Chain A
Amino acid sequence: MIIAAAFRSSLTGNQSLLVSGFAQACRGLVACVLLIFSPPVFAAQVVDIAGLFTYRPDAALLAYGVAVPTDVALFRVAFNGQKAELVAMAAGPQQSSLMRLAALSGSQIAVLYPDIGEPYRSVFTKIIEGIEDKARVRVASYAVGNKLNAQELAGELKRQNVRAVIALGRNGLRAANALEGSNLSIVAGGVLAVPESEARGVAVHSLAPDPELMFARLKLLVPQARRIYVVCDPRQNAWLMQLARTAAKAQGLELQVREATDLKTAMQHYQSIFSSSDARHDTVWLPQDSTTVEESAVLPLVLQEAWNRNIAVFSSSLSHVKRGVLFSLYPDNMGLGRNLAQVALANADGASGLVPLKDVLVAVNLRTASHLGLNLGNKPQQNFDLVFPEP
Chain B
Amino acid sequence: MHIKHTTLVTSLLFAGLATWAQADEPVLEEDLAQAYGDQTTITIATGSQQSLRRAPSVASVITAADIEAMGATDLDTVLKAVPGLHVSRSANSYSPLYVIRGVNSLLNPQTLMLQNGIPMTILFTGNRGNIWGKLPIENIARIEVIRGPGSALYGADAYSGVINIVTKTAAESEGTQVGVRLGSFSSQDAWVLHGGQVGPISVAAYLHAGKTDGSKEVIDSDAQTRNDAAFGTKVSRAPGTINVDYKAVDASLDLSYGKWRWRSGYKLRDDVGTGAGITSALDPTGKTQSRRMNSDLSWLDAQVLPNTGAGFSASYLYYRQTIPSPLILYPAGMRFPSGLFPDGMIGSPEFWERQIRFSGFLTYNGWVGHALRFGMGHDSVDLYRIRELKNFTFTASGLPVPAGPVKDYTNIAPYLLPQKRTVNYAYVQDEWTLAKDWALTAGVRHDRYNDFGSTTNPRLALVWDARYNLTAKLLYGRAFRAPSFGEFYSANNPTIRGNINLKPETVRTTEAAVAWQPRRDVHLNLSAYRYDARDLIRTSPNAVAGTGLTYNNIGQQTGRGLELEAAWDVARDLKLAFNYARQRTIDKLTNKDAGNAPHHLAYGSAEWRIDDGWLLSSQISRVAGRKRVAGDTRTPVADYTNVDVAITSKQGKGKWDLTLAIGNLFDADIREPSVSPGLIAKDLPQPGRNWMLQASYRM
Binding site for B on A (CB under 8 A): 64-67, 69, 71-72, 89, 91-92, 94-96, 100, 114-123, 126, 128, 132, 135-150, 152-153, 156, 160, 169-171, 174, 178, 190-192, 207-208, 288-290, 295-296, 299-300, 303-304, 306-307, 316-320, 322-324, 330-331, 333, 361, 363, 367-368, 370-371, 373, 375, 377-378, 380-382, 386-387, 389-391
Contacts of B200 in A (CB 8 A): 94-96
Measured CA separation A361–B439 after assembly (Å):
28
- Asked if residues A160 and B8 are in contact (CB atoms below 8 Å), the reply is yes
Scan B23-43; emit 1 where CB is below 8 A from any A CB, else 0: 011011111101111110111
Nearest residue (CB) in A for B197 is A95
Q: With both chains docked as a complex, state the minimum distance between the C-beta of B78 and any C-beta of chain A, in angstroms.
A: 18
Asked whether B307 is an interface residue with its Cβ less than 8 Å from the other chain, the reply is: yes
Asked whether B47 is an interface residue with its Cβ less than 8 Å from the other chain, the reply is: yes
Contact flag A69-B1 (CB < 8 Å), given A120-B32, A207-B32: yes
Measured CA separation A306–B465 after assembly (Å):
14
- Asked if residues B31 and A190 are in contact (CB atoms below 8 Å), the reply is yes
Contact flag A320-B436 (CB < 8 Å), given A142-B10, A147-B13, A296-B520: no
Measured CA separation A322–B517 after assembly (Å):
11
Measured CA separation A146–B14 after assembly (Å):
9
Asked whether B545 is an interface residue with its Cβ less than 8 Å from the other chain, the reply is: no
26 residue pairs of the A-B complex, CB under 8 angstroms, read A116-B612, A117-B613, A119-B43, A121-B654, A122-B46, A135-B5, A138-B8, A140-B9, A141-B7, A143-B9, A146-B21, A146-B25, A147-B14, A152-B16, A171-B24, A171-B28, A178-B17, A207-B31, A288-B35, A304-B468, A318-B45, A363-B45, A370-B439, A371-B468, A373-B436, A378-B365
- Asked if residues B5 and A139 are in contact (CB atoms below 8 Å), the reply is yes
- Asked if residues A148 and B520 are in contact (CB atoms below 8 Å), the reply is no
Contact flag A377-B42 (CB < 8 Å), given A147-B15, A152-B12: no
- Asked if residues B31 and A170 are in contact (CB atoms below 8 Å), the reply is yes
Contact flag A317-B368 (CB < 8 Å), given A92-B1, A333-B46: no
Q: What 6 A-B pairs are tightest by C-beta distance, nearest first? A: A319-B37, A65-B6, A307-B468, A149-B14, A288-B34, A117-B612
Q: Flag the segment in B51-59, B105-113, B272-280, B625-633 that touches A.
A: B51-59
Q: With both chains docked as a complex, state the minimum distance between the C-beta of A390 and any C-beta of chain B, in angstroms.
A: 6
Measured CA separation A123–B18 after assembly (Å):
26
- Asked if residues B10 and A147 are in contact (CB atoms below 8 Å), the reply is no
Q: With both chains docked as a complex, state the minimum distance between the C-beta of B44 and any C-beta of chain A, in angstroms.
A: 7
Contacts of B65 in A (CB 8 A): 119
Contacts of A382 in B (CB 8 A): 302-303
Max count, chain A CB within 10 A of own CB: residue among B3, B16, B53, B366: B3
Pick the contact of A148: B14, B31, B367 (CB < 8 A). B14
- Asked if residues B465 and A371 are in contact (CB atoms below 8 Å), the reply is yes
- Asked if residues A390 and B51 are in contact (CB atoms below 8 Å), the reply is yes
- Asked if residues B520 and A318 are in contact (CB atoms below 8 Å), the reply is no
Interface size on B, residues (CB 8 A): 82
Nearest residue (CB) in A for B31 is A192
Asked whether B66 is an interface residue with its Cβ less than 8 Å from the other chain, the reply is: no
- Asked if residues B468 and A116 are in contact (CB atoms below 8 Å), the reply is no
Contact flag A116-B28 (CB < 8 Å), given A142-B10, A145-B13, A318-B36: yes
- Asked if residues B43 and A391 are in contact (CB atoms below 8 Å), the reply is no
Binding site for A on B (CB under 8 A): 1-18, 20-22, 24-25, 27-32, 34-39, 41-47, 50-54, 57, 59, 61, 65, 199-200, 302-303, 306-307, 309, 365-369, 371, 433, 436-437, 439, 465, 467-469, 471, 517, 519-520, 609, 612-613, 650, 653-654
Measured CA separation A347–B25 after assembly (Å):
28
Contacts of B11 in A (CB 8 A): 115, 142-143, 145
Q: With both chains docked as a complex, state the minimum distance between the C-beta of B556 and any C-beta of chain A, in angstroms.
A: 32
Contacts of A135 in B (CB 8 A): 5
Contact flag A391-B54 (CB < 8 Å), given A91-B1, A118-B654, A382-B303: yes
- Asked if residues B1 and A137 are in contact (CB atoms below 8 Å), the reply is no
Nearest residue (CB) in B for A193 is B31
Max count, chain B CB within 10 A of own CB: residue among A72, A96, A152, A318: A318
Q: With both chains docked as a complex, state the minimum distance between the C-beta of A239 and any C-beta of chain B, in angstroms.
A: 15
Max count, chain B CB within 10 A of own CB: residue among A115, A147, A153: A147
Contact flag A143-B467 (CB < 8 Å), given A318-B41, A387-B50, A391-B52: no
Measured CA separation A141–B306 after assembly (Å):
44
- Asked if residues A95 and B1 are in contact (CB atoms below 8 Å), the reply is yes
Contact flag A380-B303 (CB < 8 Å), given A147-B14, A317-B36, A386-B50: yes
- Asked if residues A120 and B12 are in contact (CB atoms below 8 Å), the reply is no
Nearest residue (CB) in B for A295 is B520
Measured CA separation A94–B304 after assembly (Å):
23
Q: With both chains docked as a complex, state the minimum distance between the C-beta of B4 and any C-beta of chain A, in angstroms.
A: 7
Measured CA separation A66–B688 after assembly (Å):
54
- Asked if residues A318 and B35 are in contact (CB atoms below 8 Å), the reply is yes
- Asked if residues A147 and B35 are in contact (CB atoms below 8 Å), the reply is no
- Asked if residues A136 and B433 are in contact (CB atoms below 8 Å), the reply is no
Pick the contact of B368: A96, A136, A331, A377 (CB < 8 A). A377
